[in-house]
A = this chain, B = another copy of it.
Amino acid sequence: MNYSKERLLQFTKSVFLSCGMPEADANLAADVLLSADMRGIDSHGVARLSGYIRLQEAGRANMNAKHKVIHETPSTATVDADQGLGLVVAPKAMDIAIEKAKQVGTGWVAIQNSNHFGIAAYHAMKALPHDMIGISMTNASPLVAPTYSKERMLGTNPICMAFPSGSQQPFIVDMATSNAANGKLEIAQRKNKEIPLGWVQTKNGLDSVNANELKDGGSLLPLGGHKGYGLGAAVDILSAVLSGANYGPWVPPFVAFLNPLENLPGNGIGHFLGAMRIDAFRPAEDFKKHMDQWIIRFKQSQRVDENQEVLIPGEPEFRLQKERELEGIPLNPQVEKDLQELAQKFGLNL
Protein backbone atom coordinates (compact mmCIF):
# COMPACT_ATOMS: atom_id res chain seq x y z
CA MET A 1 0.00 0.00 0.00
CA ASN A 2 1.16 3.52 -0.81
CA TYR A 3 1.19 6.34 1.73
CA SER A 4 1.14 10.03 0.90
CA LYS A 5 4.16 12.07 1.86
CA GLU A 6 1.97 14.32 4.00
CA ARG A 7 0.56 11.44 5.97
CA LEU A 8 3.96 9.89 6.76
CA LEU A 9 5.39 13.32 7.52
CA GLN A 10 2.67 14.01 10.09
CA PHE A 11 3.05 10.58 11.60
CA THR A 12 6.85 10.85 11.84
CA LYS A 13 6.58 14.28 13.38
CA SER A 14 4.06 12.98 15.94
CA VAL A 15 6.39 10.15 16.92
CA PHE A 16 9.25 12.57 17.49
CA LEU A 17 6.96 14.89 19.46
CA SER A 18 5.88 11.94 21.59
CA CYS A 19 9.55 11.35 22.40
CA GLY A 20 9.90 14.84 23.79
CA MET A 21 11.41 16.53 20.76
CA PRO A 22 10.57 20.26 20.43
CA GLU A 23 8.12 21.02 17.60
CA ALA A 24 10.55 22.79 15.26
CA ASP A 25 13.05 19.95 15.61
CA ALA A 26 10.36 17.32 15.05
CA ASN A 27 9.34 19.10 11.84
CA LEU A 28 12.93 19.13 10.67
CA ALA A 29 13.72 15.51 11.56
CA ALA A 30 10.52 14.32 9.85
CA ASP A 31 11.31 16.38 6.75
CA VAL A 32 14.79 14.83 6.49
CA LEU A 33 13.47 11.27 6.84
CA LEU A 34 10.66 11.80 4.32
CA SER A 35 13.05 13.36 1.81
CA ALA A 36 14.80 9.99 1.71
CA ASP A 37 11.56 8.10 1.06
CA MET A 38 10.56 10.61 -1.61
CA ARG A 39 13.91 10.26 -3.38
CA GLY A 40 13.71 6.46 -3.27
CA ILE A 41 16.46 5.97 -0.68
CA ASP A 42 14.06 3.78 1.26
CA SER A 43 16.74 2.44 3.60
CA HIS A 44 17.25 5.95 5.07
CA GLY A 45 13.65 7.09 5.45
CA VAL A 46 10.84 6.10 7.81
CA ALA A 47 12.33 2.61 7.78
CA ARG A 48 14.83 3.98 10.31
CA LEU A 49 12.33 5.78 12.54
CA SER A 50 12.08 3.00 15.11
CA GLY A 51 15.87 2.77 15.17
CA TYR A 52 16.17 6.38 16.31
CA ILE A 53 13.56 5.76 19.02
CA ARG A 54 15.45 2.71 20.27
CA LEU A 55 18.61 4.82 20.47
CA GLN A 56 16.77 7.22 22.76
CA GLU A 57 15.52 4.32 24.89
CA ALA A 58 19.09 3.06 25.17
CA GLY A 59 20.08 6.49 26.51
CA ARG A 60 22.18 7.21 23.45
CA ALA A 61 20.12 9.90 21.68
CA ASN A 62 18.95 13.16 23.21
CA MET A 63 15.65 14.26 21.66
CA ASN A 64 15.84 17.64 23.37
CA ALA A 65 19.42 18.42 22.36
CA LYS A 66 20.75 21.98 22.25
CA HIS A 67 23.66 22.09 19.83
CA LYS A 68 26.53 24.46 20.57
CA VAL A 69 29.24 26.08 18.44
CA ILE A 70 32.39 25.20 20.40
CA HIS A 71 34.97 26.76 18.08
CA GLU A 72 34.87 29.03 15.05
CA THR A 73 36.65 31.26 12.54
CA PRO A 74 35.07 33.40 9.80
CA SER A 75 34.84 30.38 7.43
CA THR A 76 34.59 27.47 9.89
CA ALA A 77 32.76 26.17 12.95
CA THR A 78 32.86 23.10 15.12
CA VAL A 79 29.52 22.07 16.57
CA ASP A 80 28.76 19.86 19.57
CA ALA A 81 25.43 18.17 18.75
CA ASP A 82 24.65 17.45 22.42
CA GLN A 83 23.99 13.78 21.57
CA GLY A 84 21.04 14.83 19.44
CA LEU A 85 19.95 13.32 16.14
CA GLY A 86 22.03 14.20 13.08
CA LEU A 87 18.62 14.62 11.40
CA VAL A 88 18.19 17.79 13.46
CA VAL A 89 21.68 19.17 13.93
CA ALA A 90 22.98 18.66 10.39
CA PRO A 91 20.46 21.00 8.70
CA LYS A 92 21.10 23.59 11.43
CA ALA A 93 24.85 23.26 10.99
CA MET A 94 24.36 23.60 7.24
CA ASP A 95 22.62 26.92 7.94
CA ILE A 96 25.76 28.00 9.80
CA ALA A 97 27.92 26.99 6.81
CA ILE A 98 25.63 28.91 4.43
CA GLU A 99 25.74 32.01 6.66
CA LYS A 100 29.54 31.92 6.74
CA ALA A 101 29.67 31.46 2.97
CA LYS A 102 27.52 34.58 2.60
CA GLN A 103 30.07 36.48 4.68
CA VAL A 104 33.44 35.19 3.43
CA GLY A 105 32.76 33.02 0.35
CA THR A 106 32.72 29.54 1.91
CA GLY A 107 31.61 27.95 5.17
CA TRP A 108 32.68 24.61 6.69
CA VAL A 109 31.25 22.94 9.76
CA ALA A 110 32.56 19.86 11.59
CA ILE A 111 30.10 18.21 13.98
CA GLN A 112 30.80 15.92 16.93
CA ASN A 113 28.62 14.16 19.50
CA SER A 114 25.90 13.42 16.95
CA ASN A 115 23.90 10.46 15.70
CA HIS A 116 22.92 9.25 12.20
CA PHE A 117 22.01 12.22 9.95
CA GLY A 118 19.75 10.52 7.39
CA ILE A 119 20.53 11.07 3.69
CA ALA A 120 23.58 13.19 2.96
CA ALA A 121 21.79 14.80 0.00
CA TYR A 122 19.26 16.63 2.18
CA HIS A 123 21.96 18.68 3.86
CA ALA A 124 24.07 19.38 0.77
CA MET A 125 21.00 20.39 -1.24
CA LYS A 126 20.16 23.11 1.27
CA ALA A 127 22.91 25.14 -0.40
CA LEU A 128 21.25 25.11 -3.83
CA PRO A 129 18.59 27.86 -3.41
CA HIS A 130 21.41 30.15 -2.25
CA ASP A 131 23.37 29.58 -5.48
CA MET A 132 25.94 27.68 -3.47
CA ILE A 133 27.61 24.31 -3.88
CA GLY A 134 26.72 22.05 -0.96
CA ILE A 135 28.89 19.28 0.48
CA SER A 136 28.00 16.81 3.21
CA MET A 137 29.53 13.68 4.60
CA THR A 138 29.36 11.53 7.71
CA ASN A 139 31.04 8.59 9.28
CA ALA A 140 29.01 5.58 10.41
CA SER A 141 29.18 2.26 12.25
CA PRO A 142 32.10 0.10 11.06
CA LEU A 143 31.13 -2.42 8.36
CA VAL A 144 33.83 -1.91 5.69
CA ALA A 145 37.26 -3.57 5.80
CA PRO A 146 40.36 -1.68 4.62
CA THR A 147 42.25 -3.27 1.71
CA TYR A 148 44.19 -6.38 2.91
CA SER A 149 42.15 -6.45 6.15
CA LYS A 150 39.25 -8.64 7.21
CA GLU A 151 38.23 -6.37 10.09
CA ARG A 152 35.32 -3.91 9.95
CA MET A 153 37.02 -0.56 10.43
CA LEU A 154 35.02 2.03 8.46
CA GLY A 155 31.38 2.86 7.91
CA THR A 156 29.88 3.13 4.46
CA ASN A 157 30.85 6.81 4.99
CA PRO A 158 28.82 8.61 2.32
CA ILE A 159 29.75 11.83 0.60
CA CYS A 160 27.38 14.15 -1.25
CA MET A 161 28.09 17.13 -3.49
CA ALA A 162 25.25 19.24 -4.87
CA PHE A 163 25.74 21.75 -7.70
CA PRO A 164 23.11 24.26 -8.84
CA SER A 165 22.19 24.50 -12.53
CA GLY A 166 20.02 26.79 -14.64
CA SER A 167 17.20 25.23 -16.66
CA GLN A 168 18.34 21.68 -15.90
CA GLN A 169 17.88 19.77 -12.67
CA PRO A 170 20.77 20.25 -10.25
CA PHE A 171 23.66 17.77 -10.27
CA ILE A 172 23.62 15.70 -7.05
CA VAL A 173 26.18 13.00 -6.43
CA ASP A 174 25.35 11.15 -3.20
CA MET A 175 27.35 7.99 -2.74
CA ALA A 176 28.54 5.54 -0.13
CA THR A 177 32.28 4.87 -0.27
CA SER A 178 31.67 1.11 -0.23
CA ASN A 179 30.76 -0.88 -3.35
CA ALA A 180 27.33 -1.60 -1.94
CA ALA A 181 25.34 -0.07 0.89
CA ASN A 182 23.80 -2.30 3.51
CA GLY A 183 20.33 -1.56 2.09
CA LYS A 184 21.22 -3.38 -1.14
CA LEU A 185 22.27 -6.45 0.84
CA GLU A 186 18.97 -6.40 2.70
CA ILE A 187 17.04 -6.39 -0.58
CA ALA A 188 19.03 -9.40 -1.79
CA GLN A 189 18.41 -11.15 1.56
CA ARG A 190 14.67 -10.63 1.28
CA LYS A 191 14.68 -12.00 -2.26
CA ASN A 192 17.04 -14.81 -1.27
CA LYS A 193 19.35 -13.86 -4.13
CA GLU A 194 23.12 -13.94 -4.64
CA ILE A 195 24.97 -10.63 -4.72
CA PRO A 196 27.70 -9.61 -7.19
CA LEU A 197 31.31 -10.42 -6.37
CA GLY A 198 33.08 -7.46 -4.79
CA TRP A 199 30.33 -6.34 -2.44
CA VAL A 200 31.34 -8.40 0.59
CA GLN A 201 34.00 -10.73 1.88
CA THR A 202 33.76 -13.54 4.44
CA LYS A 203 35.05 -13.17 8.01
CA ASN A 204 38.28 -14.71 6.72
CA GLY A 205 38.57 -12.17 3.90
CA LEU A 206 37.50 -14.46 1.06
CA ASP A 207 35.32 -13.45 -1.91
CA SER A 208 31.64 -14.14 -1.41
CA VAL A 209 28.27 -13.77 -3.17
CA ASN A 210 26.29 -14.52 0.00
CA ALA A 211 23.96 -11.67 0.94
CA ASN A 212 24.04 -12.84 4.58
CA GLU A 213 27.82 -12.60 4.86
CA LEU A 214 27.72 -9.54 7.14
CA LYS A 215 25.59 -11.37 9.68
CA ASP A 216 28.19 -14.13 9.70
CA GLY A 217 31.04 -11.77 10.61
CA GLY A 218 32.06 -10.73 7.10
CA SER A 219 32.59 -7.19 5.93
CA LEU A 220 31.67 -4.82 3.13
CA LEU A 221 34.35 -3.95 0.56
CA PRO A 222 35.45 -0.39 -0.27
CA LEU A 223 34.44 1.24 -3.56
CA GLY A 224 36.65 -0.03 -6.38
CA GLY A 225 39.31 -1.41 -3.98
CA HIS A 226 42.02 0.59 -2.23
CA LYS A 227 40.86 3.95 -3.64
CA GLY A 228 37.50 3.55 -1.93
CA TYR A 229 39.33 2.66 1.29
CA GLY A 230 41.28 5.93 1.00
CA LEU A 231 38.16 7.92 0.22
CA GLY A 232 36.08 6.39 3.03
CA ALA A 233 38.99 6.97 5.40
CA ALA A 234 39.20 10.65 4.39
CA VAL A 235 35.46 11.00 5.12
CA ASP A 236 36.07 9.42 8.54
CA ILE A 237 38.92 11.84 9.30
CA LEU A 238 37.05 14.97 8.16
CA SER A 239 33.88 13.92 10.00
CA ALA A 240 35.42 12.73 13.22
CA VAL A 241 39.14 13.35 13.76
CA LEU A 242 38.59 16.99 12.79
CA SER A 243 35.43 17.45 14.88
CA GLY A 244 36.34 15.41 17.99
CA ALA A 245 33.90 12.55 17.32
CA ASN A 246 34.65 8.82 17.32
CA TYR A 247 36.38 7.36 14.29
CA GLY A 248 37.12 4.02 12.64
CA PRO A 249 36.17 1.00 14.72
CA TRP A 250 35.10 3.21 17.64
CA VAL A 251 32.10 4.75 15.86
CA PRO A 252 29.08 3.77 18.00
CA PRO A 253 26.69 1.37 16.26
CA PHE A 254 23.39 2.75 14.93
CA VAL A 255 21.55 -0.29 16.22
CA ALA A 256 20.67 0.11 19.86
CA PHE A 257 21.13 -3.59 20.68
CA LEU A 258 24.90 -3.24 20.20
CA ASN A 259 26.81 -1.25 22.81
CA PRO A 260 29.51 1.25 21.95
CA LEU A 261 33.08 0.13 22.74
CA GLU A 262 34.75 1.33 25.93
CA ASN A 263 37.41 4.05 26.19
CA LEU A 264 36.08 5.92 23.19
CA PRO A 265 38.47 8.50 21.69
CA GLY A 266 35.71 11.04 20.91
CA ASN A 267 32.05 11.97 21.28
CA GLY A 268 29.26 10.32 19.29
CA ILE A 269 29.53 10.17 15.51
CA GLY A 270 30.75 13.00 13.30
CA HIS A 271 29.69 14.88 10.18
CA PHE A 272 31.39 17.41 7.94
CA LEU A 273 29.45 19.98 5.91
CA GLY A 274 30.39 22.73 3.49
CA ALA A 275 28.84 25.53 1.45
CA MET A 276 30.63 27.46 -1.29
CA ARG A 277 29.08 30.54 -2.81
CA ILE A 278 29.29 30.24 -6.60
CA ASP A 279 29.85 33.96 -7.03
CA ALA A 280 32.85 33.73 -4.75
CA PHE A 281 34.48 32.22 -7.88
CA ARG A 282 32.51 33.50 -10.89
CA PRO A 283 29.08 35.01 -11.56
CA ALA A 284 26.40 32.47 -10.64
CA GLU A 285 24.58 32.97 -13.96
CA ASP A 286 27.73 31.99 -15.91
CA PHE A 287 28.23 28.91 -13.78
CA LYS A 288 24.62 27.81 -14.18
CA LYS A 289 24.67 28.35 -17.93
CA HIS A 290 27.74 26.11 -18.19
CA MET A 291 26.22 23.52 -15.82
CA ASP A 292 23.27 23.32 -18.21
CA GLN A 293 25.66 22.83 -21.12
CA TRP A 294 27.57 20.18 -19.14
CA ILE A 295 24.39 18.28 -18.35
CA ILE A 296 22.94 18.50 -21.86
CA ARG A 297 26.21 17.33 -23.44
CA PHE A 298 26.56 14.38 -21.06
CA LYS A 299 22.94 13.35 -21.70
CA GLN A 300 23.80 13.31 -25.39
CA SER A 301 26.93 11.19 -25.04
CA GLN A 302 26.91 8.05 -27.17
CA ARG A 303 24.99 5.21 -25.57
CA VAL A 304 26.23 1.65 -25.26
CA ASP A 305 22.64 0.45 -25.64
CA GLU A 306 20.25 2.76 -27.50
CA ASN A 307 17.49 1.91 -25.04
CA GLN A 308 19.46 2.85 -21.94
CA GLU A 309 19.98 6.59 -21.68
CA VAL A 310 22.99 8.12 -19.97
CA LEU A 311 21.99 9.50 -16.57
CA ILE A 312 23.16 12.58 -14.69
CA PRO A 313 23.97 12.00 -11.01
CA GLY A 314 20.77 12.74 -9.07
CA GLU A 315 18.48 12.18 -12.07
CA PRO A 316 16.96 8.85 -10.93
CA GLU A 317 16.12 10.39 -7.54
CA PHE A 318 14.40 13.44 -9.09
CA ARG A 319 12.29 11.10 -11.24
CA LEU A 320 11.32 8.94 -8.33
CA GLN A 321 10.42 12.03 -6.35
CA LYS A 322 8.03 13.20 -9.09
CA GLU A 323 6.51 9.75 -9.27
CA ARG A 324 6.01 9.54 -5.51
CA GLU A 325 4.51 13.01 -5.35
CA LEU A 326 1.75 11.64 -7.58
CA GLU A 327 1.50 8.06 -6.40
CA GLY A 328 2.67 8.16 -2.81
CA ILE A 329 5.36 6.15 -1.07
CA PRO A 330 5.21 2.36 -1.22
CA LEU A 331 6.17 0.91 2.16
CA ASN A 332 7.44 -2.61 2.42
CA PRO A 333 5.39 -4.78 4.80
CA GLN A 334 8.16 -4.98 7.41
CA VAL A 335 8.45 -1.17 7.56
CA GLU A 336 4.67 -0.80 7.70
CA LYS A 337 4.52 -3.23 10.63
CA ASP A 338 7.32 -1.31 12.32
CA LEU A 339 5.41 1.97 12.00
CA GLN A 340 2.20 0.37 13.23
CA GLU A 341 4.02 -0.78 16.35
CA LEU A 342 5.23 2.78 16.89
CA ALA A 343 1.67 4.05 16.40
CA GLN A 344 0.42 1.66 19.05
CA LYS A 345 3.24 2.46 21.44
CA PHE A 346 2.59 6.20 21.31
CA GLY A 347 -1.20 6.03 20.85
CA LEU A 348 -1.07 7.50 17.34
CA ASN A 349 -2.74 6.71 14.05
CA LEU A 350 -0.50 5.75 11.14
Seen from chain A, the residues whose Cβ lies within 8 Å of a Cβ on chain B are 71-76, 78, 103-106, 108, 110, 133, 145-151, 153, 161, 163, 171, 173, 175-176, 179, 201, 204-205, 223-231, 233-234, 236-238, 241-244, 247-249, 265-266, 276-278, 280-282, 286-287, 290-291, 293-294, 297-298, 301-305, 308-311, 313
**A247 B205 Cβ-Cβ under 8 A:** no
**A228 B237 Cβ-Cβ under 8 A:** no
Q: Which 8 A-B pairs have the closest CB atoms?
A: A205-B304, A73-B105, A224-B224, A173-B230, A76-B105, A230-B313, A76-B280, A151-B302
**A75 B75 Cβ-Cβ under 8 A:** yes
**Which of A224, A225, A229 has the largest count of B CB atoms less than 10 A from its CB?**
A224
**A151 B287 Cβ-Cβ under 8 A:** no
Oligomer copy total: 2
**A291 B224 Cβ-Cβ under 8 A:** no
**B76 A147 Cβ-Cβ under 8 A:** no
Main secondary structure of the interface of A (DSSP, over half): mixed
**A237 B163 Cβ-Cβ under 8 A:** yes
> How far, in whole Å, are A201 and B313 apart by their CA atoms in the complex?
21
Could you list some 27 contacts between A and B, CB below 8 A?
A: A73-B104, A73-B106, A73-B280, A74-B74, A74-B104, A75-B75, A75-B104, A75-B105, A105-B108, A106-B108, A108-B276, A108-B280, A110-B281, A110-B282, A146-B301, A148-B310, A149-B302, A150-B303, A163-B237, A173-B227, A226-B311, A231-B231, A241-B290, A242-B278, A242-B282, A242-B287, A247-B290
> How far, in whole Å, are A265 and B175 apart by their CA atoms in the complex?
29
Neighbour of A282 across the interface among B71, B225, B298, CB < 8 A: B71
> How far, in whole Å, are A350 and B150 apart by their CA atoms in the complex?
48
Say whether, besides A175-B231, A301-B151, A290 and B310 are in contact (CB < 8 Å): no
17 further contact pairs, Cβ within 8 A, besides A145-B301, A148-B308, A241-B294: A71-B281, A73-B277, A74-B74, A146-B310, A147-B310, A149-B303, A150-B304, A153-B297, A175-B230, A201-B304, A205-B304, A223-B224, A226-B311, A241-B287, A242-B282, A243-B282, A249-B301
